[in-house]
Amino acid sequence: MSMLTVTSAPHIRSKDSVSRIMLDVVLALLPAGIFSVYLYGTRALLTIILGVASAVLTEALIQKLTKKPVTIYDLSAVVTGLLLAYNLPPSAPWWLPVIGSAIAIALVKHVFGGLGNNFMNPALAARAILLAAWPVQMTSWIIPNTESISSATADAVSSATPLAILKGAEGVLPSLKDAIIGNIGGTIGEVSAVALLLGAAYLLYRKVITWHIPAAYITTTFVLVTLLGGRGLETGIYHIFAGGLILGAFYMATDYSSSPITVKGKLIMGIGCGILTAVIRLYGGYPEGVSYSILLMNVAAPLIDKYTMPRVFGEVKQHA
Amino acid sequence: MAKGLFTFSGGVHPPHRKHYTEDIKVEPCRVPDIVVIPMQQHIGAPCEPLVKPGDTVKVGQKIGEPKGFVSAPVHSSVSGVVKSIEMYNSPGGGKVLSVIIQNDGSDTRVEPDIPLNIDLLSPAQLKKIVLEAGIVGMGGAAFPTHVKLSPPADKKIDTVILNGAECEPYLTSDYRLMVESPEQIISGLKIIMKILGVSSGIIGIEDNKPKALQSVKAAAAGEQNIKVVSLRTKYPQGAEKQLIYALTKRMVPSGGLPMDIGVVVNNVGTAAAIHKAVDLGEPLYQRIVTVSGSAVKEPKNLLVRIGTTFRDVIDFCGGLVEEPAKVISGGPMMGIAQHTLDVPVVKGTSGILVLTKKEAELPEPSACIRCGRCVEVCPINLMPLQLSNAALKGILEEAEALHAMDCIECGSCSFICPAKRPLVHSIKMVKKEITARRKRSASS
């Protein structure tokens, strides 16, 4: 008889895998991408492709250079590339997604130890760097329907996003229906709330994410903006559907390695993001606030985990 | 509680894979020519052999004398001549002093000493019978039963629970016992209740075993003090703390024992063994073993004499259909992988699994993505990923602060991990190190 394998228990494992989880995220993000390509044309498609390609190539290159196993097939770089591209305006020049994804993978992910070790969401941190470096390119929006949708359109007409208009920028506030479906200006990924929610439902169904962070996040933002925004319920609803809140709450704030693990911690993460977003949007200099809110809460995540450790089964309550 | 059924929080749903053997009646395994009977088949002190090479022994004769209170005597499972006493492979790992007996085939038994009127026996007399019969926990842990039945005077026991969950995949030995001989279980339970002076007995059975539920319920009909309860099918439903919580909503305190909250838990198989010891005068020298896995030709539930080697048991099942890649003593979630088939069945052997290469294949581990699934499924509410990190770095203080010692080693974390990380493995290792360090500091 040949050698028997001796390993420690358990001897069977679930079918879950890292690549399957990442594939689920990619699938969930597809509807929003397809909608954006339909809305903005091949230019959006090119941005997405370049973002993903740059992320994957950067990861492969770094792993080759550092003589580590190349793990691009786990699809985590694809997710980062997609999210980075989704955070760019459809009018972005071709080099923006390329540089952005390279920064996300090299600087935010691998410098800190690779998959699972980044303390910030790579795509968001890269977006913040791009925004600081190239503010004009990062905030030139296209309003659908007023623009001939074609990649040949070299210079996009800059316009304000609904949230900027709410904040006082010039422009006509689109109808709420247009804001929900996605017939508005915004980044590639955030425009269609419907498409994003479709993907989010899939992620919840597949148990890739739990409801805690997104629900706490969106509810907190909605309540604060409604109470303090000045125009009541209308402001609250616009703030949910018109900006990056849904993309951020379901797809970015839920990033495994940069968000808390405990249930309580997830709720704190969501509420914290919600408060910061409302404050930035209402009182800060930017019309958006989702990215910075999530990044700030990312940094707090290890601390939140530490203080929200669940009580162990049978642990006796500590009386102070 | 989901579905209105009794359960606990956390847990996983491994594939059941009980179809191989669940409908196969228990049959006696062929008694081999040679048995290997280890002097330690239980948690606690090993036994000292009472025989020497050349001695003649009978079936049921005591051949190992326990040394210490936490220990249990060992009996011969065949009649014949002691060939040798030597160190032999043990299914728990390593080698254990074992009495090797050549079977003479006559199956001569020690005359059972059955008391005339069992109902007149005192709790102390009954407990003596349990001790002398060498009964240990038959769910796999093999903790000496008489110790469990001797709570200190300050621990008031009010409930006896029988564990019929059998939540490990593949295993069906408890299931067949519950379906075929429920009256043995009820009889054993009543003896345990009498020993402990308890008026409440609960038998918990997972709801994926409707036939067992029906059968045990029928046998318990008319018993005012015995409840048969359907548990939600989930792993590790049969873990002691989780079972107690599911049935009584009482939590065993961290670092404590069931008796701290007035509960004693025994396996249904242990109850049946107690019945046989008291009512039939039969010590524990055989047990039901599930032999399963796709590498076995005819998976079976067998009544096996203690000391029969895995090789002889598998031969009785028609041998192997394919080169085995892994042999497990127990279930696939907590069982122990064997390096050879030349190991004996012991009192705690609930199953022998022989897995093919395909069944045994384990994926390569990759980096932790911090998805938190291990935290979600841990029935003890631990943070396995952080514990494992501390363990792998060898930081004992941190592992202790993260409650390493509370881990029940059920393996749910490793099972669910999408990155296939050795979570429970590393926690088991660090627990050993912590225990060793505690011993060192206690002795210095």
B274 and B306 in a single domain? The answer is no
Last residue of a domain, one of B230, B255, B279: B279
B402 and B350 in a single domain? The answer is no
| Domain assignment of residue B130, yes or no | yes
| Domain assignment of residue B12, yes or no | no
Q: Which of A118, A121, A158 is closest to A137 using CA atoms?
A: A158
Which DSSP letter does residue A44 get?
Answer: H
| Domain assignment of residue B9, yes or no | no
Contact B417 A13 (CB under 8 A): yes
CB-based contact, A306 to chain B, within 8 Å:
no
CB-based contact, B352 to chain A, within 8 Å:
no
B52 and B105 in a single domain? The answer is yes
| Cβ partners under 8 Å of residue B202, min gap 6 | B159, B160, B161, B162, B226, B227, B228, B229, B247, B248
Predicted pLDDT at A152? 36
B222 or A180, which is more confident: B222
| Domain assignment of residue B26, yes or no | no
B77 and B195 in a single domain? The answer is no
Q: Name the residue facing B370 among A8, A261, A315 (closest C-beta).
A: A261
**Using one digit for the tens of pLDDT, what is the confidence trace for B135-170?**
999 987 899 999 999 999 899 999 999 999 999 999
CATH number for the domain including B330?
A: 3.10.20.600
**Using one digit for the tens of pLDDT, what is the confidence trace for B264-281?**
999 999 999 999 999 999
| Domain assignment of residue B5, yes or no | no
Last residue of a domain, one of B248, B279, B310: B279
Q: Name the residue facing A6 among B339, B366, B371 (closest C-beta).
A: B339
| Domain assignment of residue B152, yes or no | yes
* Parent domain of B311: 32-112+283-359
Which DSSP letter does residue B341 get?
Answer: S
B149 and B253 in a single domain? The answer is yes
Distance CA B323, CA B359 (A): 12
Q: Enumerate the residues of chain B whose CB falls inside 8 A of the CB of residue A13.
A: 362-363, 414-415, 417, 420
| pLDDT of B253 higher than 80 | yes
Contact A10 B332 (CB under 8 A): yes
**Residue B60 and residue B282 in contact, taking contact as beta carbons nearer than 8 Å:** yes
Contact A8 B425 (CB under 8 A): yes
B159 and B260 in a single domain? The answer is yes
Which one-letter amino acid corresponds to residue A82?
A: L
CATH number for the domain including B205?
A: 3.40.50.11540
Give me the number of domains chain B comprises. Answer: 3
B301 and B352 in a single domain? The answer is yes
B146 and B227 in a single domain? The answer is yes
B129 and B166 in a single domain? The answer is yes
Contact B338 A4 (CB under 8 A): yes
In chain A, the domains with their CATH numbers are 18-151+159-307 (1.10.3430)
Q: Enumerate the residues of chain A whose CB falls inside 8 A of the CB of residue B333.
A: 9-12
Contact A261 B372 (CB under 8 A): yes
Residues of A (48-77) whose Cβ lies below 8 Å from B? 71, 74, 76
Residues of B (160-189) whose Cβ lies below 8 Å from A? 169
Contact A9 B385 (CB under 8 A): no
**Across residues B431-441, what is the average pLDDT?**
92
| Domain assignment of residue B22, yes or no | no
Contact B383 A18 (CB under 8 A): no
Contact B370 A256 (CB under 8 A): yes
Chain A / chain B CB contacts < 8 angstroms = 151
Backbone dihedral region of B363: left (phi > 0), alpha (psi from -120 to 50 degrees) or beta? beta
CB-based contact, A117 to chain B, within 8 Å:
yes
- For an interface test with A, the pick among B243, B364, B369 (most A C-beta atoms closer than 10 Å) comes out as B369
B225 and B123 in a single domain? The answer is yes
**Using one digit for the tens of pLDDT, what is the confidence trace for B61-85?**
999 999 889 999 999 999 999 999 9
| Domain assignment of residue B341, yes or no | yes
Q: Name the residue facing A4 among B169, B326, B425 (closest C-beta).
A: B326
CA distance, residue B331 to nearest chain A CA (Å): 9
Predicted pLDDT at B120? 87
Last residue of a domain, one of B238, B254, B279: B279
* DSSP one-letter string for A10-36: P----S--HHHHHHHHHHHHHHHHHHH
B220 and B296 in a single domain? The answer is no
Predicted pLDDT at B356? 93
B349 and B438 in a single domain? The answer is no
Contact B380 A5 (CB under 8 A): no
pLDDT in 10s for each residue of chain A, 320 residues: 568 889 999 999 999 999 999 999 999 999 999 999 998 889 999 999 999 999 999 999 999 999 999 999 999 999 999 999 999 999 899 999 999 999 999 999 999 999 999 999 999 999 999 999 999 899 888 766 544 444 334 344 556 778 888 777 777 788 888 878 777 778 999 888 999 999 999 999 999 999 999 999 999 999 999 999 877 888 889 899 888 999 999 999 999 999 999 999 999 999 999 999 999 999 988 888 999 999 999 999 999 999 999 889 988 655 43
Farthest CA pair distance, chain A: 81
Interface pTM, i.e. ipTM: 0.88
Distance CA B389, CA B73 (A): 41
CA distance, residue B333 to nearest chain A CA (Å): 4
3-class SS of residue B377: helix
Distance CA A192, CA A186 (A): 9
